[in-house]
Structure 1
Amino acid sequence: MLSLFRFCPLVLVCLVAGAAPLPAPAATASVPTARYWVYLRDKAGMHFEPAQYFSAPARARRLRQHLPAADSTDFPVRPDYVRGVEQASDSVLFVSRWFNAVCCRATPAQVRALRGLPGVMRVEAQTPLVLLPTAKYPAVRMSSPEPLTAAERYLARQQTASLGGQAFQKARLDGHGLRIAIFDVGFNGTDKHPAFQHLFRDKRVVATHDFVRNRESVYGGGSHGTEVLSCIAGRLPDGTPLGLAPQAEFLLARTERMLREVYVEEQDWLAAAEWADRNGADIINSSLGYTNRRYFPEQMNGRSSLVARAAGMAVRKGILVVNAAGNDGDDAEWRTIGTPADGDSVLAVGGIDPDTYLHIEFSSYGPTADRRLKPNVVAFGTVLAATPRGYEQVQGTSFASPLMAGFAACAWQQNRQLTVRQLFEQLQQAGGLYPYFDYAHGYGLPRASVFMSPHQAKIPPQVDFSKKDSLLSVIIRPEAAFLPGFPLPMFTDSVAALTPGEALKAPKLGREAIVGPAPVEAAAAPLPRPTDYLYWHVASAEGVLRRYEVREVRQRVVVQIPLRTLQSGDLVRVWFRGSMLSYLVP
């Protein structure tokens, strides 16, 4: 399993948007320094010309979404304030237009001086650095790829077919006209890999920047970005697409580092987001996440981390942010999503197993710390991707995220007048489970057919509720009580009712209990016998799930819930074969 990459450096090289990097005075050897954010009061007197700063695609994006040509967050930071911070601190590391703030190194005495500067609103300390060595990445030597197996070719087809790729292809939706920024650890070998020849031939990699070394080339460092890009726009030698948006344009940004200095990566993410905004990105794919090396689970609220706030600002600029949910679902110490996937306007993508369409065990669970739904949607967590060695099967929600980013590009191409918030809502509503949801699958695997045929016929309820003998039972209706060649009995030997304690453990049951359906558009791998799944959850009056589970249907009575475990105002929802039925507890 590949975890979300969190690589970091020994030295931060920061880019000031639209300006040359600021000089860094020599460090003070005798007095230790720490990192601080210096937040400034105003941008009074600053002049700004959007037409000179923003690229034509950036200006067009704002116009389409009825956003102003610029606002105060786009204006440059006052240079006199920056000079004051530079003179009073040990070194200036980064200047953010969006947050009107300067990141610097300073001693305790210098911090006191910084707080007294004109224009300084507040000074915030950063957590001490955590430096950890990681694996080194050798130079790329492209070898002749071994012939792909039948199983690998099948997986390559299914990772796009599962999302309705055929419907998008038939409608000639392939990401054309969309600009996607990818933030990652590096794109080792991307410029030489045959999977991307069409991108470089057509000059659709329009800009690159390495925020680790402050240079243009990103074709070094790690190869994770190469794998991620292939899940949006890569191709097999026979032309089979590995992602849904092979005709999109791309901005490639290296924001992750070879040594792990946790907070610096978030600053690089912010710098890359400001750069992507200026260069006209419509979508940011971030297969990255920050968890227990800096934060506690209760801080996954979309507000605590710098990177979550930066993602929220990107959305305000009209950019859809798609982020991997995380790979900690089987980690007993940290099972929840990471940041920036915790942002309320960030589309967090979980993973499912392509063999069974079940929740894949490593995919992180929601909700957020403030009990909001996460993940929002899911896609394959195991894919065939382009790597420096050719093509390989890889795992991680890192790859579910770019599959979803490509899906979003096709959906937006179909209706370019959608605002980013409208697109976000429509992507959720395209989920195969919608309006049902849970904290393993969100709204499920999105379907392209929803965008092609928005007025689809509603499926009548397939289940009924029965309240009897202190139990609330969920019973499959007679007309739905069969699978091809496999009629469902009313009861098998026994029907197990979940106790409150067992129900609360449902998210921990793994792939046997937390599962997802194979969508109609995708031909799932043959199963040994007909299989159907029923989802159910209990939501509080505030809409927070207190329990949820997905059960394999083997009989007509699928679930029996003791009434004593329910509270007044609870809402029991059941999803089965495309329809949902609800029961409000009086």
Structure 2
Amino acid sequence: MKSIYLLLFVFSSVFVSAQVEDAWVYFKDKPNATTYLETPLLMLTQRALDRRSNQNIALDTKDIPIAMEYVDQIKAAAGITYKAKSKWLNAIHVQGTSSDITLLLDFAFVDKIDFADRSLNSTGKKAKNYKTSTINKKLETKVDYGYGTSQNQIHMLNGDVLHQQNYTGSGKIIAVLDAGFPGVNTVQPFARLRDNNQILGGYNYVLRDANFYTGDSHGTSVLSTMGGYTENALVGTAPDATYYLFVTEDNSQESPVEESYWAEAAETADSLGVDIITTSLGYSNKHTNPAYDYTYADMNGTTTFISRAAEIAFSRGMLVVASAGNEGNEVEPHISAPADAVSVLTVGAVNASKTRAYFSSIGPSYDQRIKPDVMAQGLGTVLSDEFGAIVTASGTSFSCPIIAGMLACLWQANPTKSNQEMRQLLLQSADKYSNPTTQYGYGIPDFSLALANGQLAVVNYSKKDLMLYPNPTSDAISIVFPQESLSGMLTIYTILGQKIFEKEVVSNTVISLKAVTSGMYLYQLKGATFTATGKIIKQ
């Protein structure tokens, strides 16, 4: 089932009647497929179609809306309560007694039924999840944000290097799938988002209405790590991105229907042209009804409804970023769903000193793939609560959106890259890429390296290399040393040997070349143990 990944665990006391079951009813076909494929704007916005076109992703039957005539017949069936639908999986989520649900097989258009309690399925596979909750533009000039205490969680990823070049998520859309967003419409840390119309909308799938500024404040805190802005206190990783806010978590119970709400929200995000989905929800064990629990064996990327939906979301050209989970110190410490999906970027948590947080769920997936994928600060993360107070909290709930926001910045800098290329850029920049582990995955990303890789089109690189990028450049260059402790004297000469610039620099220094005329220049970078020379082309 689902869990909001905060550090403090609170278990629901709501009980589900043994007579009422959850199930997914799968349909055999989509009778109106031809009409939709011939008129794609009936099902996807132009921005969504452009994203597909830019990544050479063809439309297919998964994009076709579910047949509502089938849905209506199921709704009218005796004893059946309709809860959600998924066009990607061509299925609807229903509740009712096992006998009433089984009778739905009499409909000619019904392909199969999967009960959440898998002991009721004909194949008889047994069917685990925590609910947790808090208690407690091109470079004109170097941009220096007043990060305040949020500095560390961004600098750890060298995300400030991207911000300094005005890669702040502008032009990218992030969908946040969470438990609720109270306070986002009123408190100060979100004023910048509101004033700039960066909240594009949203929906509450639990209540089936447009009021997404309600529910648990977990989503508020998650959003603040990306879009929050309070000068000298909190700067999110993607302050200039735009956002859709979707409520998919029902705090009143732990129910499989939340997986279906999630899938429905992800499909909406796809249709609206969203670039990145970030979700700090997870499904494993401790459902309200224990019969619905998953086991580690189910964390294979293909068993759970939500993981299958997340994989389809990636196939549509979006990036999907998910929390690894907070069960790292539990008897069963492994990741949950959808963090187990193959293409999902699964994020674990470290402390301010880059050491794995004790609660961060570990890998691998049950089928032995590397999980988590990457790590970011999730212990003592600086964020906003629903009242606008800048506080700290812990959980992979927060390391996840920190990465999602930085990915928006990186994608802004590399607008022609596909989601697959962006995923690889991120992994290759991480500090354990050559030697991943079950605790850290590929490690902590270095977004300055990822930026260099993307702009220089280098396939392989490492922290052993000195980098000066972008080159050619129109405004500025950044310098990355093989080790952060290194420094050196940078001198730039004209092609005739005239010195025009000299300065002591450290790693991630951004040098403005705006005042330099176009042409070719020579540089020398000299440190205590190395000397590097080369050419710079100013466009």
1:67 alignment partner in structure 2: 57
What is the SS of the residue equivalent to 1:250? strand
What is the SS of the residue equivalent to 1:192? coil
CA distance in 1, matches of 2:266, 2:240: 22
1:416 alignment partner in structure 2: 415
What is the SS of the residue equivalent to 2:209? coil
Letter of the 1:192 partner, please give it: T
CA distance in 2, matches of 1:420, 1:440: 25
How far the C-alpha of 1:118 sits from its partner, in A, is: 0.8
How far the C-alpha of 1:459 sits from its partner, in A, is: 6.3
CA distance 1:350–1:227, shift in 2 (3 Å): same
**1:441-460 alignment, distance < 5 Å:** 441-454=440-453, 455=458
Q: 2:67 aligns with which of 72, 78, 82?
A: 78
CA distance 1:66–1:10, shift in 2 (3 Å): farther
CA distance 1:4–1:414, shift in 2 (3 Å): farther
How far the C-alpha of 1:116 sits from its partner, in A, is: 2.2
**1:18-37 alignment, distance < 5 Å:** 32-37=19-24
* 8 A contact 2:180–2:214 mirrored in 1: yes
* 8 A contact 2:7–2:132 mirrored in 1: no
* 8 A contact 1:135–1:258 mirrored in 2: no
CA distance in 1, matches of 2:202, 2:431: 36
After the TM superposition, which segments of 4 or more aligned residues of structure 1 sit over 6 Å from their partners? Answer: 4-12, 128-138
How far the C-alpha of 1:82 sits from its partner, in A, is: 2.3
How far the C-alpha of 1:105 sits from its partner, in A, is: 2.7
Identity %: 31
| Worse overlay, 95-104 or 225-234 | 95-104
Q: 1:384 aligns with which of 360, 382, 385?
A: 382
What is the SS of the residue equivalent to 2:329? coil
CA distance 1:122–1:353, shift in 2 (3 Å): same
**1:286-301 alignment, distance < 5 Å:** 286-293=279-286, 294-301=293-300
* 8 A contact 1:137–1:222 mirrored in 2: no
CA distance 1:298–1:251, shift in 2 (3 Å): same
Letter of the 1:344 partner, please give it: V
**1:19-418 alignment, distance < 5 Å:** 32-46=19-33, 47-48=35-36, 49-68=39-58, 70-91=59-80, 92-127=82-117, 155-238=149-232, 241-293=234-286, 294-331=293-330, 333-354=331-352, 356-382=353-379, 383-389=381-387, 390-418=389-417
How far the C-alpha of 1:352 sits from its partner, in A, is: 0.8
Letter of the 2:266 partner, please give it: A
CA distance in 2, matches of 1:35, 1:113: 14
CA distance in 1, matches of 2:132, 2:356: 29
CA distance 1:45–1:405, shift in 2 (3 Å): closer
* 8 A contact 2:8–2:134 mirrored in 1: no
1:75-123 alpha-carbon deviations (Å, 9 max, x no partner)? 1222332233233342322222111112223434434432122121111
Letter of the 2:439 partner, please give it: A
How far the C-alpha of 1:56 sits from its partner, in A, is: 2.9
What is the SS of the residue equivalent to 2:24? strand
CA distance 1:119–1:60, shift in 2 (3 Å): same
CA distance in 2, matches of 1:168, 1:367: 31
Segments of structure 2 that go 5 or more residues without pairing to the other structure are: 119-126, 137-145, 287-292, 466-481, 487-505, 510-539
1:376-396 alpha-carbon deviations (Å, 9 max, x no partner)? 110001211011241101111
RMSD of aligned C-alpha atoms? 3.3
Letter of the 1:449 partner, please give it: S
2:477 alignment partner in structure 1: none
* 8 A contact 2:328–2:362 mirrored in 1: yes
Letter of the 1:351 partner, please give it: A
CA distance in 1, matches of 2:217, 2:463: 45
* 8 A contact 2:284–2:337 mirrored in 1: yes
Letter of the 1:221 partner, please give it: G
CA distance 1:457–1:188, shift in 2 (3 Å): closer
How far the C-alpha of 1:230 sits from its partner, in A, is: 0.9
How far the C-alpha of 1:4 sits from its partner, in A, is: 8.3
How far the C-alpha of 1:241 sits from its partner, in A, is: 4.9
Letter of the 1:420 partner, please give it: N
* 8 A contact 1:209–1:253 mirrored in 2: yes
Letter of the 2:263 partner, please give it: L
* 8 A contact 1:207–1:251 mirrored in 2: yes
CA distance 1:424–1:33, shift in 2 (3 Å): same
CA distance 1:36–1:395, shift in 2 (3 Å): same
CA distance in 2, matches of 1:104, 1:159: 42
How far the C-alpha of 1:274 sits from its partner, in A, is: 1.1
1:141 alignment partner in structure 2: none
* 8 A contact 1:132–1:260 mirrored in 2: no
Letter of the 1:379 partner, please give it: A
CA distance 1:136–1:457, shift in 2 (3 Å): closer
| Worse overlay, 106-115 or 291-300 | 106-115
How far the C-alpha of 1:237 sits from its partner, in A, is: 3.4
* 8 A contact 1:175–1:413 mirrored in 2: yes
Segments of structure 1 that go 5 or more residues without pairing to the other structure are: 13-28, 139-151, 462-479, 485-518, 523-586
What is the SS of the residue equivalent to 1:445? coil
How far the C-alpha of 1:182 sits from its partner, in A, is: 0.4
How far the C-alpha of 1:33 sits from its partner, in A, is: 3.8
1:439 alignment partner in structure 2: 438
* 8 A contact 1:181–1:251 mirrored in 2: yes
TM-score normalised by L of structure 1: 0.68
CA distance 1:316–1:76, shift in 2 (3 Å): same
